[in-house]
Amino acid sequence: MEIKVMKNILGENDKIAEENRAMFREKNVTVVNLMGSPGSGKTTLLEKTLEKISGRISAAVIEGDLFTARDAERIERLGVPVVQINTAGGCHLDAAMVKRAAESLELEKIQLLIVENVGNLVCPAEFDVGENFKATVLSITEGDDKPLKYPLIFKESAVVLLNKIDLLPYTNFDLAAAREDLSTIHPNVEIIETSCTTGAGLDAWADWLAGVI
């Protein structure tokens, strides 16, 4: 009986991710892989972020979504270069997708490339796309149990944005417990509390981005 050995998908992805990383390094582009659940507020946070860093950091965006170009259209209205990737049901972006998208951007004019991954707390963390840093958005409305239920994405992230902090009084989200769990999973993680409604934390987040370029 012949045993078929399936191709190492992650191994191939990692190879292309290293090619991406070399390409970005050559062009002096810092890449942030922005992850989080559907509805966590990633796109709105991204819009506010781009407004904050306008005139300070030259940025571009790669938008990942299952279908439609609605998120990319929102970014385009800000005058920021953007490429939409539709995965047609795929739960994450991979390095090959990001490579094709990045090649259509004028990387020599960009300091910061933000890749907004598909909304998911599981798959995106497993696929290196050639980023310098991973960042995860966790909405207050999702519950404080998410770090322990989905530890990999938080362990891999250099920064966690506790978003929609203005809704804290209306939920049973235990902020202290979430912070403790995040610090246990990743002792060196940067935790920034943000609200796109009040503007809380957006300056700190913009400063973090400026500091890693």
pLDDT at residue 11, rounded to an integer = 84
- Any domain includes 1: no
pLDDT at residue 12, rounded to an integer = 92
What tens digit of pLDDT does each residue of 182-192 get?
A: 999 999 999 99
- Any domain includes 87: yes
- Any domain includes 125: yes
- Any domain includes 71: yes
pLDDT at residue 67, rounded to an integer = 83
- Any domain includes 3: no
Q: Point out which residues pair with 115 in neighbouring strands.
A: 33, 62
What tens digit of pLDDT does each residue of 16-38 get?
A: 999 999 999 999 999 999 999 99
CATH number at residue 128: 3.40.50.300
Distance of CA 114 to the CA centre of its chain: 7
What tens digit of pLDDT does each residue of 125-174 get?
A: 999 999 999 999 999 999 999 999 999 999 999 999 999 999 999 999 99
Q: What is the dihedral of CA 201, 207, 212, 213, to 10 degrees?
A: 130
Quote the percentage of the chain above a pLDDT of 90. Answer: 90
What tens digit of pLDDT does each residue of 74-117 get?
A: 999 999 999 999 988 788 999 999 999 999 999 999 999 999 99
**Nearest CA to 157 among 144, 149, 166, 147?**
147
- Any domain includes 191: yes
Number of domains in the chain: 1
pLDDT at residue 9, rounded to an integer = 65
Least trusted range by pLDDT, from 58-62, 66-70, 96-100: 66-70
Average pLDDT score over the chain: 94
pLDDT at residue 6, rounded to an integer = 47
**Whole-angstrom distance, CA of residue 98 vs CA of residue 132:** 13
State which residues form the domain around 138.
Answer: 9-212
- Any domain includes 147: yes
- Any domain includes 4: no
Q: Grade residue 2 by pLDDT with cuts at 50, 70 and 90.
A: low
DSSP 134: E
